[in-house]
Amino acid sequence: MAALQQTPITFQYSSRVTAKLHPQNPLKLSFSGSSSFLKLPKLTVKITGKRRGGARMADSAAGSYAQALADVAKSNQTLESTAADLEKVEKLFSEPAVKEYFINPTISIEKKRELLDEFAGSSKLQPHVVNFLNILVDMKRIDLIKEILKDFWVVYNKLTDTEVAIVTSVVKLDSQHLAQIAKGVQRLTGAKNVRIKTVIDPSLVAGFTIRYGSSASKLIDMSVKKQLEEITAQLDLGDIQLAV
């Protein structure tokens, strides 16, 4: 893919204390607090799809953008804080209304950048992360944001020797239990770091499951649902008809 250079982007955003979505306009934010203006530095993104930082990305637009952002974060020694920023971005774009807003061709780029400015101010995103998001909007590639984030985590995990464990439970587990799970996964995999992602699933009845490994292919199932399924299979209750 040919190299791409983005011209410097200068914009302003307002700091805020509170923000909420208006029912009649889910993307109109209301702010309180003083305003400030910030000139953000230039971010140049080169799209190459080459091997960088010990992690090989697929020859795709999303993979190339993800690798470029990881390269910037690594070069300015902000890989961890960039990852934290992208968790906020991931949460923002998990809202269907937000995604629809940014991919809507009838909404101007200026309006989309205004919303990004507000989000940047409220979330205290780093300048290079904000510039990167604006580049995606300007180039009309913001529709790739979920794929870019997915590929970024692949690069990040390889650069930091991080194993991702998806913990699914009926209720939210406390930090102590999650820390114990992380240590267990670390012993199993030998990874330097373990990043926990949590999912709530009431159908488990009780207990929890842990998925880890490549494409979350390995499973540890400690749920009551699994135990009930095993008991049912052992008793072969499928052919039993209960008297009424």
Domain count, the chain: 2
Structural contact between residues 209 and 220, judged by C-beta atoms closer than 8 angstroms: yes
Same domain, 127 and 179: no
> Are both 113 and 168 inside the same structural domain?
no
Confidence at residue 239, expressed as pLDDT on a 0 to 100 scale: 53
Q: What is the pLDDT of residue 226?
A: 76
SS3 235: helix
Is 54 among the domain residues? Answer: yes
- In the listed set 158, 183, 217, which residue is the last one of a domain according to the structure? 158
Query: Is 12 among the domain residues?
Result: no
Task: Check whether residue 31 and residue 150 sit in a common domain.
Answer: yes
State the DSSP string of 80-142.
Answer: HHHHHHHHHHHHHHTSHHHHHHHH-TTS-HHHHHHHHHHHHHHHT--HHHHHHHHHHHHTT-G
Residues 185, 110 share a domain = no
For residue 60, the model assigns a pLDDT of: 84
Q: Within this chain, do residues 36 and 138 fall inside the same structural domain, yes or no? A: yes
Does 103 share its domain with 193? no
Domain containing residue 69: 21-158
**pLDDT tens string for the chain (244 positions)?**
333 333 332 223 333 322 333 333 444 333 233 323 233 334 444 434 344 444 444 458 899 999 999 999 999 999 999 999 999 999 999 999 999 999 999 999 999 999 999 999 999 999 999 999 999 999 999 999 999 999 999 999 999 999 989 999 998 988 888 999 999 999 998 999 998 989 999 988 888 899 988 777 888 888 888 777 777 676 665 555 545 4
**Distance of alpha carbon 160 from alpha carbon 79, whole angstroms:** 9
Q: Are residues 184 and 79 in the same domain?
A: no
Residue 15 lies in a domain: no
Domain boundary, last residue among 113, 134, 158: 158
Residues 54 and 85 in one domain: yes
Take residue 133 and report the two structure tokens written for it. Answer: 């998001």
What's the pLDDT score for residue 217?
A: 82
Q: What's residue 221's pLDDT?
A: 86
Is there a single domain that holds both residue 60 and residue 179?
Answer: no
Residue 11 lies in a domain: no
Please check whether residue 1 lies inside any domain of the structure: no
> Any idea what the CATH number is for the domain that residue 64 is in?
1.10.520.20
- The verdict on 176 and 97 lying in the same domain is no
Instruction: Decide if 13 is inside a domain.
Output: no
Same-domain check for residues 59 and 76 = yes
Q: Give the residue from 158, 192, 223 where a domain finishes.
A: 158
Do 85 and 194 belong to one domain?
no
